[in-house]
Amino acid sequence: MKHGFYSRIAKENIQKNRRLYIPRILAEAGLLGCFYILLTLAMDARLSEALGGAYLSAFMSFGAVVIGLLSFILILYVNSFLMKRRKSEYGLYNVLGMEKRHVVKLLFTESLITSLLSIALGLLLGVLFYKASSLLICRLMRSGIVAGFYYLNAVTLLIPAGIFLALDLFAFLINSITILRMKPVELMAGKHAGEKEPRIRWLLLIIGLLTLGSGYAYALTVKSPLAALVGFFAAVILVIIGTYCLFVTGTTFVLKCLKRNKGYYYNCRHMPAVAGLLFRMKQNAVGLASIAILATGVLVMISTTVSLYSGVQDTVNTNYPQQLYLSANQTEDDTVTSIPSSSLTEIVESAAEEYGLQIEHIEAEKMLTVSYLTRGDALLTKTEVTGGWSPEELTGAIFITENTYTQLKGQTYFTTDARHLDLGKDEIAFCRIMSTVRNLGEAPETLTIHGKEYRVKEMISYFPVSINMGTLVDVVGIVVADEDALEEIYLAQKAAYGAYASEYMDRIGVIFADEEAVSAVAAAFTRTVIDKLRASYPGALSYSLDTKWEALHNVLDMYGTFLFLGILLGLVCLFSTILIIYYKQISEGYEDRERFQIMEKIGMEAQEVKKAIGSQMALQFFLPLATAAVHTAAAFPILLKLLKILMLTNTQLFVSCTLITLAVFALVYTAVYLLTARTYYNIVH
C-alpha cells in the first residue's frame, strides 16, 4: 500500500459518514471535558484552601469516577452502533480483495483520527470552561473569588487524555476481533442482524419482576434514614437490573399481547409499529432501558441537589433558632461539673462588648440528653435489652423540668404551643422534636423510662430546647415534674451506662441584635469567647460552641458542591440520553426505510406511513420517560430519608423541585424526540 493510503481512505470514510461520527466526537469531547473539570477541581489545592471546602476534593473525585464509568458505557454503546452500520462496508472491502489485516489497519486509522479529535476538543473545552466552573463553585458557596483560576499542569491534562485514549483503544480491539472472526458474507449482512421475532424468556421476566419489585419495596417501606443510607445503592442496583430485564423481555411480552388483540393490531397505524418493534426489540430494549436509567438519574440528581441548595437557609434556621450555643464542663478528680449558665453569659457579654455587638436575648437552658432503645412504649438502655437490636430503635431523649419549660416558653421567638402543664409526680409532657422512624406510638398514654412507668399528660408540639443530635435517629423532648424527677432519671442512666453516662448540660442560646455585624467578626469573636472561657476555668475543660454562621458556611460548602456536581452529572446524563436517542433514530430510520417503501408501493398512503411512524416512535421513546417518572416516584420515600441525613426536612420543597425538574426534563425530552423524529421520517420517507 502507498504511503498515506489508509489515512486518505479513513478521512474519506469519516467525511461520508459524518452524520454518524460528528455526534460521536462531540459526545466523547463533552464527557472528557466534564471529566477534566471535575478532576482539576479535585486536585486544585487553591480552591480547597480558599473556600474552606472540606467536601470539594472528595465529591469532585467521586463525580470523576461516575463520569468515567458513564463514558465507558456510552463509548461502547456508540461503538456498537457504528460497527453495526459499517460492517457491510468493511465486508465489501474484504470481498473486493483487501485482506482483513488491511481492513483492521484502516479501522485503526479511522479510530485514531476520531479519538485524537475527541481528546483534543475535550481538553480544549475542559480548559476553557474550568474557569467558569470555578466561578460557579464560588458563587454557590458564597465564598471569595480565587484570583486567576488558570490552573494547567501535565497531570490534569494527561490523566483524562490517557483514560479516554484507553477507552477508544478498547473499543478498537473489540471491533478488530469482530472483523477478524467474521466471514465476509457475515459482515455484509451484519446490519440486518437481530430481526428474528424474539421469544418471551420467562426466567428473565421473573427475575426482572422480582428485582424491580424488591427495589421498589425497599424504597417504599424503609423506616429510618440509617437503613436508607445502608440499602440505597443495593436498591438502585436491583431497580437497574429489573429495568433492563423487563425492557428486554417484558416489552416483548406486552407487544405480543397487543398483537393478539385483533382490534388493536389489525390497524394500518398500529400494525407496522407493533410488528416493527417486535422484530427489533432485542436490539431496542437495551437502548430504551439505558435511556430510562439515565433519565431517572437526571431527575433524581437535579431535584435532590436543587432542593438541598434551595433549602439552605431554612435548614440552618430550623437547626439553629439562636445564633450561638455555648456549654462547658470542668473535670477535677474524675468529677465532672457543668459550668453554670450565669458564668457563660458573663463571658459572652464581655466578648460582645469588646467587639461592639449588641445582644438581644440570652436563653439559659439546663437539660439532660440520653440515648435509648425503643421497644413498644418504653425507653430502654442497652443493658435492659437482651439479644440484638436494630439501628431503627435508637432514640435520643432530651429531659428538662417543668420549671425550665415555664421559664423558657415565654422567651423564645419560635413558640407555637407553649401551654401550662401542671405535671404531677409521675407525669410527663412528651414532644417529637425529630421524627424519622416514629418507633413510639403516635400519642402514647404511658411511657416507661428505666423501668418506671410515667403517664403522658400532654402531647406538645413545642419544645423550648433545641439540640442537634443528628438526623439518623428519633429525637424526643420530655418535660418532667421537678428536679427530683430529673435527678432520678440522671442517676438511673448513670448506673446503666457508667463511664459513658450523660451529664447535665447548662447551656446558653444567644440572639444578637445585628446578625450581619456578628457574622463580619465571627472568627475573631468565637476565639475571644474560647480564650475568656479558658482563662476563667484553667483546669481540665471541655466545651461546645456552635454558631449559626459557621453552620451556614459548612452547609453552603456541602450543598454548593452537591448542586454543582448534580448539575454537571445531570447534564452528562442528559446529553448521553440525547445521544442514544439520536443514534436509535438514525439506526431505525435506515432499517425501516425499505419496509415503509414497500408499504407505500402496495397502497399505503404517505399520511398513513407518517402516522405509523409516529405511533411506533411514541411507543418507543415515551416509554422510557414514563418509566423514569415511575422510578422517581417509587424512590421518593427513600430519598426523603436520605435528605433528612443532610438536614433537609422540608418535604413540600422537595416535591416542588421534583415536579419542576420532571416538567422541564419532559419538555427537553419531547423537543429532542420531535427533532430526531423529523430526521427519522426524512430517512424513511
The string of pLDDT tens digits covering residues 91-147 is 777 666 677 788 888 888 888 999 999 999 989 988 888 877 777 777 777 665 554
Domain ranges of the chain: 1-193, 320-545
Instruction: Using alpha carbons only, give the angle 478, 480, 483 rounded to the nearest 5 degrees.
Output: 130
Which residues, in sequence order, are bridge partners of residue 356? none
Q: pLDDT band at 283, cuts 50/70/90? A: low
Which cell numbers hold the place of 419? 401551654
pLDDT of the residue at 269: 61
Which residues, in sequence order, are bridge partners of residue 459? 430
Q: pLDDT band at 341, cuts 50/70/90? A: confident
| Dihedral angle of Cα 125, 131, 132, 135, to the nearest 10 degrees | 160
* DSSP state at residue 167: H
Q: pLDDT band at 591, cuts 50/70/90? A: low
pLDDT of the residue at 162: 93
pLDDT of the residue at 46: 67
pLDDT > 90 fraction of the chain, expressed in percent and rounded = 8
Residues 6+ apart with CB under 8 A from 682: 589
pLDDT tens column, 159-199: 999 999 999 999 889 888 887 876 666 655 555 554 555 66
What DSSP letter does each residue of 1-70 carry, written as one string? --TTHHHHHHHHHHHHTHHHHHHHHHHHHHHHHHHHHHHHHHH-HHHHHHHT-TTHHHHHHHHHHHHHHH
Whole-number Cα distances in Å, 309 to 248, 312, 562: 38, 5, 8
Which residues, in sequence order, are bridge partners of residue 458? 429
Please give the Cα distance from 643 to 647 (Å, whole number).
6
pLDDT of the residue at 194: 47
* DSSP state at residue 376: T
Whole-number Cα distances in Å, 475 to 100, 432, 437: 71, 7, 10
pLDDT of the residue at 414: 44
Q: Which residue has the cell 436543587?
A: 306
| Dihedral angle of Cα 278, 280, 281, 287, to the nearest 10 degrees | -150
Q: Which of 122-131, 397-406, 467-476, 564-573 has the lowest mean pLDDT?
A: 467-476
Average pLDDT over residues 499-519: 85
Whether the pLDDT of residue 411 is over 60: the answer is: no
In contact, 306 and 514? CB cutoff 8 Å: no
Whether the pLDDT of residue 493 is over 70: the answer is: yes
pLDDT tens column, 641-683: 888 777 777 788 889 999 999 999 888 888 887 777 777 667 6
In contact, 461 and 431? CB cutoff 8 Å: yes
Which cell numbers hold the place of 662? 420532571
Select the more confidently predicted residue: 450 or 587: 450
Q: Which of 275-289, 351-365, 503-517, 539-553 has the lowest mean pLDDT?
A: 275-289
pLDDT > 70 fraction of the chain, expressed in percent and rounded = 80
Q: How many Cα atoms are found within 13 Å in the side-chain-facing hemisphere of 577? A: 29
**Nearest Cα to 435, choosing from 477, 400, 389, 465?**
477
pTM over 0.85, yes/no: no
Average pLDDT over residues 233-248: 87
